[in-house]
Amino acid sequence: MKPAWRHAGLVLAGGLALLGLPARADTQASSHRGGTLRLTAASSAGTLDPQINYTSQYMQLESVVYDGLLTYPKLEGPAGSQVVPDLAQAMPERLDGGRTWVFTLREGIRFSNGAPVTVADVAASLRRIFMVGSPTAGSFYGGIIGADACLRAPAACTLQGGVETDAATRRITIRLNAPDSEFPYKIAFGHAVILPASTPAHDLGNDIAPGTGPYRIVSSSPDRGMRLERNPYFHEWSETAQPDGYVDGIDYDFGLSEEDALTAVERGQYDWMAGLKPLDRLGEIGGQYTAQVHVYPLYGLLFLPMNVNIPPFSSIKARQAVNYALDRRAMTILYGGSGIAAPLCRMVPPGLLPGDGACAWTQGADPDHPAPVWAHPDLARARQLVHESGTEGQDVTLIVEATAMDTSMGTYLRDMLQAIGYHARLHPLSPAMELSYAQNTANHVQISLMGWYADYASPSNFLDTVFGCENFHPGSDSSINISGLCDPVVQALVARIRQAPDAQAAQVLWQQVDGRITRLAPAAPMISISYVDLVSPRLGHYFSTSLYHMAFSRVWVR
């Protein structure tokens, strides 16, 4: 998942105090029920279409507006990474060794426009994933029978043979071409939310689709912000999956600078900010507002995807040169320090594969002889590789978000590219457009600064989602594989993983994929990251989940 914002942070002395009470009191009877949660962000995060938007900023918000058959629970800690039933009344039956999954739709659920949710809505929503070109259509749902035809001709998508429904029993049967042990995790992801069958089969832009969650979006302006209010047809069917919220409304305003937003949250004018914390104010946050800051680990990283299909990075030696030249310690400092970031040399963050810290891109190391940890950049080796690649002296443009932290990192990276032999320039873009611009091959982006974190806790979210052939779509704003890598060895290994008999066998194969991706160097991993929140003094019962971060339905305002 691409963050629409990334956080700078700091080590907080004495630990972090969570506000309020533990997990749950009955929200409908709670004395904390009511009020308006006030959020702020520098800008909007693109389309409101929940099956297309792939930014943390909006997926976090949409988690209280929309539901899928399954979901990631609004629970703290590791439990928040496990799949639970949502619009399905129970976990699906797994048949044919994982080729067939049978769900039963809950009774009595309505969309925010009052219409009942039916199995026809479920089937239409699954087809719509392909019709609208969802970024994960190929990687997550391409294994459904009939998906190949849908990917070739989206407008004619039927998923015939792949999705069958029975209105009388409320059963939905999904058949796959091959077993996929991770399929429930993919169905739980936000792009598989259920919308009315009448939802147009195109990007909704700023139009609002009815949802089933406790809140509904009642107005939205991409320039000014949006307003959410309670869904009058919502009733809590699963407190774990979709709890009834404490607040009655959510105001989400756009346009404040990072400096002004931070000051406004400190003073309680806003309750939460989606944005970077200015580096020159980290000491202030840590020293004066410790009780309002919350830090927790994240399966996330910052990296530099390089376009393998155009010069100079069509040369593997040029891509290796960037990896060797990168000062990952400097990137750690610019992100906010060692308390929330660490040098990273592989495209998998710590905790998902054995060998955390191993580095092929440091002095004295290479993909065949990795070092235990990253130590120093190797500029001399990088310059030699650029010379050998025949790309020395070429023009290179680096795309970054126009935020204080990304611009600081980008300035360093531009100087680094110049130091190893390129004529480099920096091109900052609005956070709302950087991802779509970098993804579209028509823009000929050579290298960009990106953040990514797991859609669910698996190496596949980094090694397959970011580099799979099925996620490269020339000319599209929804081409997650920004580097354009399409390697048959990687594809064959991933196909074997999907049929692996157990997690241990899959992990061995993922290590092979990791090694292959490292060797091909389609990107330069920079740092692994933690997540930093700043909230107002009036916000209580601070609650964060592993996927959707601060849960807007779990917190209250005083």
**Structural domain contains residue 27:** no
Same domain, 514 and 380: yes
Same domain, 385 and 514: yes
Q: Is 29 helix (H, G, I), strand (E, B) or coil?
A: coil
**Measured distance CA(393)–CA(279) in Å, rounded:** 33
Query: To 10 degrees, what angle do helices 316-325 and 404-419 make?
Result: 120
**Structural domain contains residue 195:** no
Same domain, 150 and 251: no
Q: Look up the CATH number of the domain holding residue 288.
A: 3.40.190.10
The whole domain housing 305 covers 296-529
**Among positive and negative, which fits the CA dihedral 139, 145, 146, 148?**
positive
**Structural domain contains residue 40:** no
**Measured distance CA(363)–CA(96) in Å, rounded:** 50
Long-range own/partner contacts, residues 232-240 (CB < 8 A, 24 or more apart) = 232/112, 233/110, 233/111, 233/112, 233/114, 234/112, 235/108, 237/106, 237/108, 237/109, 238/84, 238/85, 238/86, 239/24, 240/73, 240/74, 240/75, 240/84
Same domain, 233 and 381: no
Q: Residue 215: what are its φ and ψ, rounded to 5°?
A: -125, 155
Q: Please list the alpha-helical segments (H only) found in 188-327.
A: 258-266, 282-288, 316-325
Same domain, 305 and 398: yes
Contact between 127 and 150 under an 8 Å Cβ cutoff? The reply is yes
Residues near 290 by beta carbon (within 8 Å), at least 6 away in sequence: 12, 13, 14, 16, 17
Closest to 5 in 3D by CA, of 28, 39, 34: 39
Same domain, 306 and 165: no
**Measured distance CA(298)–CA(78) in Å, rounded:** 11
**Structural domain contains residue 48:** no
What is the Rg, in whole angstroms, of the alpha carbon atoms belonging to the chain?
A: 23
What's the half-sphere exposure (Cβ side, CA atoms, 13 Å) at 470? 25
Q: Look up the CATH number of the domain holding residue 486.
A: 3.10.105.10
Q: pTM for the whole thing?
A: 0.80
Task: Tell me how crowded residue 161 is: count the other CB atoms within 10 A of its CB.
Answer: 12
Eight-class DSSP state of 282: H
Contact between 125 and 157 under an 8 Å Cβ cutoff? The reply is no
Q: Residue 217: what are its φ and ψ, rounded to 5°?
A: -80, 120
Same domain, 481 and 469: yes
At residue 104's C-alpha, the angle toward residues 99 and 105, to 5°, is 130
Contact between 455 and 461 under an 8 Å Cβ cutoff? The reply is yes
Residues near 333 by beta carbon (within 8 Å), at least 6 away in sequence: none
**Structural domain contains residue 184:** yes
At residue 141's C-alpha, the angle toward residues 525 and 502, to 5°, is 70
- One digit per residue, the tens of pLDDT, for the chain of length 558 reads 555 444 333 333 223 332 233 334 466 667 899 999 999 998 999 999 999 998 889 999 999 999 999 999 998 877 888 899 999 999 999 999 889 999 999 999 999 999 999 999 999 999 999 999 998 898 899 999 999 999 999 999 999 999 999 999 999 999 999 888 889 999 999 999 999 999 999 999 999 999 999 999 999 999 999 999 999 999 999 999 999 999 999 999 999 988 999 999 999 999 999 876 777 777 788 788 889 988 877 888 999 999 999 999 999 999 999 999 999 999 999 988 887 899 999 999 998 899 999 999 999 999 999 999 999 999 999 999 999 999 999 999 999 999 888 999 999 999 999 999 999 999 999 987 999 999 999 999 999 999 998 888 889 989 998 999 988 989 988 798 999 999 999 999 998 888 787 778 889 999 999 999 999 999 999 999 887 788 999 999 999 887 778 999 999 998
**Structural domain contains residue 396:** yes
In one-letter notation, the amino acid at residue 461 is: N
**Structural domain contains residue 4:** no
Domain count, the chain: 3
